[in-house]
Amino acid sequence: MHIKSLFRQYKSRFLLTFLLILAEAGIMLLFPLFIGNAIDGVISDSRGGVFQLGALGLALLIVGVGRRVFDSRFYGKIYEATGKNMIGKMSKNQSSVKTARLSMMREFVEFLENALPELINNIIGLVGVVLILFSLNIKVFYGSLVVTTVIFLVYWLTSQKTMDYNEASNNEMERQVDVLEQNDPKALKNHLKQTVKWNIRLSDLEAFNFSVSWLVALAFLVVAIVVAVGDGVVQYGALFALVMYVFQYIENVLSLPLFYQNWLRLKEIMVRLNGS
């Protein structure tokens, strides 16, 4: 199973879900601005901003629910078709590998259904927020570029370890059914021990990367607020919007590397599935 052929086979449905994802991301990007306008409007005895904020929230609900209803049916069909095709190509005596790879296939389809929309949302959100920060405060904008570079460098430097740990974890997964069929307590104990070992190493590596990234992002949040006040942002709505965009930036920039780690795992899985 190759991703390109999958996209070609279902190109119209993928296009529809991507358009819905883009619409959802665009609406989300507008929220801090609309909230800031609503605050300034209420202070000035105007309710127009509040009604606009409510309309924006309703639009997000309609688009978001519509996409999820469509995606659950679409990706369910993909899992059914690709799973049947993959298992049909494997020999009859590979029960353990078949079981593991069906699970891996499900993980891949769940990435397309759940993680990919979030990934696109985060990319659009990150780019959009950085551009908005450029228009609001040039110093905060430059700071966001530095923070983004540092965080992605942290994850890039540990990417090979992530791949190695995932490969070892998937190797154990493919042995699971065979180990259970042996009915050997020692073999089962060793298998479980190895499975836990690789899961712990992956978790520890993720915890280290996130901790370093969070400390960098937290420092940026504090500095951004100090810089904004020091540059004379006096309107409460404008200051609130800037802080909200900085916070949204932090959320996006911390989430994207986690998707990268997930993709490294799926990349290793795809090598196995394509080699079936």
DSSP 47: -
Q: Find the largest Cα–Cα distance for the chain.
A: 76
Query: Rounded mean pLDDT of 99-120?
Result: 74
Decide: 202 and 166 in contact? Cβ < 8 Å: yes
Split at pLDDT 50, 70, 90, the class of 256 is: confident
Percent of the chain past pLDDT 70, that is, above it, reads 86
**Helix spans in 137-235 (H):** 138-157, 159-182, 185-230
* Domain count of the fold of the chain: 1
User: Does 100 score more than 80 pLDDT?
Assistant: no
Q: What is the pLDDT of residue 234?
A: 52
Cα separation, 117 vs 21, whole angstroms: 6
User: Does 253 score more than 70 pLDDT?
Assistant: yes
User: Does 215 score more than 80 pLDDT?
Assistant: yes
Cα separation, 219 vs 143, whole angstroms: 10
Cα separation, 194 vs 201, whole angstroms: 11
Q: Which domain holds residue 45?
A: 3-274
Joined together, the tokens standing for residue 242 give 């800037």
Least confident of 59-68, 120-129, 204-213: 120-129
Split at pLDDT 50, 70, 90, the class of 2 is: low
Handedness of CA 213, 214, 220, 223 (dihedral sign): negative
Joined together, the tokens standing for residue 157 give 């430097």
Residues 6+ apart with CB under 8 A from 16: 70
User: Does 193 score more than 70 pLDDT?
Assistant: yes
Residue 202's identity, in one-letter code, is L
Residues 6+ apart with CB under 8 A from 23: 63
Joined together, the tokens standing for residue 186 give 């020692």
Q: What is the pLDDT of residue 96?
A: 58
Name the residue with higher pLDDT: 137 or 220: 220
Query: 128-178, pLDDT tens digit by residue?
Result: 888 888 888 888 889 999 999 999 899 889 888 888 888 888 777 777 767
Q: What is the pLDDT of residue 149?
A: 92
| Cα pseudo-dihedral 63, 68, 70, 73, rounded to 10 | 180
Q: What is the CATH number of the domain that holds 175?
A: 1.20.1560.10
**Average model confidence (pLDDT) across the chain:** 79
Q: What is the pTM of this model?
A: 0.63
Using the structure block, give the residue that is written with the tokens 């916070």: 247
Split at pLDDT 50, 70, 90, the class of 43 is: confident
Query: Rounded mean pLDDT of 169-191?
Result: 76
